[in-house]
A and B are shown apart, each in its own frame.
Chain A
């Protein structure tokens, strides 16, 4: 929950907001896994100013704390100017900020660490050019955050240290003599995985005036970047991507990354840690919308979300409808992330019988008996070429699917097992549909095996029947194919 107060001419009015589960009602703020805490602080301020345009001073409860407006109103004391109200240890509880902070200096709010009042007070003072005192409220000391919660939050001390480190770096730049800091770019630190690059690029294309100008990206994704069409400038991080098995934590990886980026980058940009506090699979929104919010869009109604809107790119195969050619990506690296083998054999045998030409990304000699062609399309350029030579793409919740869907706009059927179609699919229309078995265990988040039965394969993938029906139907609608 988030909260803020409008303070104008001696009047104080409270506003409370909830984390949206999908409705995006006026008192709800989108659940974004790629936004730093300061982005939520900015959003609360914007909403308060929109509701009360005459506001002089906005008080915003720390977005990392479960606070209500009534509660923070009791801590204001006699503060009438910018201030940070903290607990006895200096943990920030409330930020009192003038409207110019939200209107003229909004992007600097995204580098607040929200876990150290002293650092944030210095940062705000530097931006506003005025003292921002720390005022201690009579509240018990804030306890230690759980490293993670069952509902998908993770916000342990190491993560907070990354936020502090970046806020301190920003403060250092702001406190340099002169006004160079006013023209330095803001950079999203979200370098990790191929799909993330596609989603962030798609989001950035939709945001008119992003809070950021740069995006820190692993340099091995250059080819994806070239296709993805992001309006942001890349800052190449020459490190292999973050492993998915948690063998290296995100905070540790971030600190190595800042070392690797080097002093020149740290001296010439404001960087924010855009994977702070939320597992992306827990929220109800498409990842593109997580990223749009991070980049500055308020996304205050469901009609503007990626699940409702048609994609901004759309392509289609120019080959004759017959034979219908379908390209599959069914190997997710681990059995739990791959389309089950028994399903696959039955699927391809049936497709062969229907005269549908199937190709599979990767080396699959075991499927050659069903007429399946193995295609080497693990890099972006050959993937682009292979997709162009097929009518329909069928893929797992993985990079090829997200690339084909969001960069090429090709007719796609998404297969979802242990993840949610709403998070990574969405925007359904005649060129895009998703399939899963709608089991109550989804999304389980299982990385290595089914957490319920210990099986290696995921039972939530649909069987061959619904998938073949979907392929034939899409082929008929888009290409006039008749089985």
Chain B
């Protein structure tokens, strides 16, 4: 299992002009804590485990620019993306196997990732966004949908660090 700390977050932010962070899988809140001082316009973090979401939410309750959403990932993504302009450069930190993933969906994490990605692409003009998907080695299915959804706008790579990360960054024009 990787962490957002494995990446040079400041560097990514500067290189791609990222203004928002959307995380699926709040967990202990480490990614939110890491990103909190970096000056994102807004950080959204989503977890379907109530205790995990609440703990991080209360820790940052005074920060109007941090929202922790307790919901299944798709419902949470819809709520988060309502707040973010469709063209504002956004970093998505998704996770194949986060602890709060719904138990029923755990049996089929592949389907969840595809649904999340289709939802994100359906609600945004994706050309400016960066996507990182953790725990790629746990993914058993066919990733063809990633190329289908992002191939035209993004360079897609796989990093072996940790349990593997799928990296999608905007193609430079």
Contact = CB atoms under 8 A, between A and B. Distances in A.
Interface of A: 219-220, 222-223, 238-241, 243, 247-248, 253, 256-257, 259-260, 262, 363, 376, 379
A260 B51 CA distance: 18
A241 B61 contact: no
Interface of B: 50-51, 53-54, 57-58, 61-62, 64, 67-72, 75, 79, 103-104
Contacts of A259: 61-62
B79 A222 contact: yes
B92 to A, nearest CB: 19
Contacts of A222: 79
B79 A241 contact: no
Given A240-B70, A363-B104, A379-B75, A248 B62 contact: no
Nearest to A262: B64
Contacts of B71: 220
A241 B70 contact: yes
Contacts of B79: 219-220, 222
A222 B83 CA distance: 14
Given A223-B75, A240-B50, A259-B61, 20 more contacts: A219-B69, A220-B69, A220-B75, A220-B79, A238-B67, A240-B54, A240-B57, A240-B68, A240-B70, A241-B50, A243-B50, A243-B51, A253-B58, A256-B61, A260-B57, A260-B61, A262-B64, A363-B103, A363-B104, A379-B72
B62 A243 contact: no
Per DSSP, chain A at the interface is loop
13 contacts: A220-B71, A239-B57, A239-B61, A240-B68, A240-B70, A243-B54, A256-B57, A256-B61, A260-B57, A260-B61, A260-B64, A262-B64, A363-B103
A379 B73 CA distance: 12
A376 B74 CA distance: 14
A166 B13 CA distance: 40
Contacts of B50: 240-241, 243
Contacts of B72: 379
B102 to A, nearest CB: 9
A253 B104 CA distance: 30
A382 B110 CA distance: 22
A336 B89 CA distance: 47
Contacts of A379: 72, 75
A256 B58 contact: yes
Nearest to A239: B57
Contacts of B103: 363
Nearest to B47: A240
A411 B120 CA distance: 38
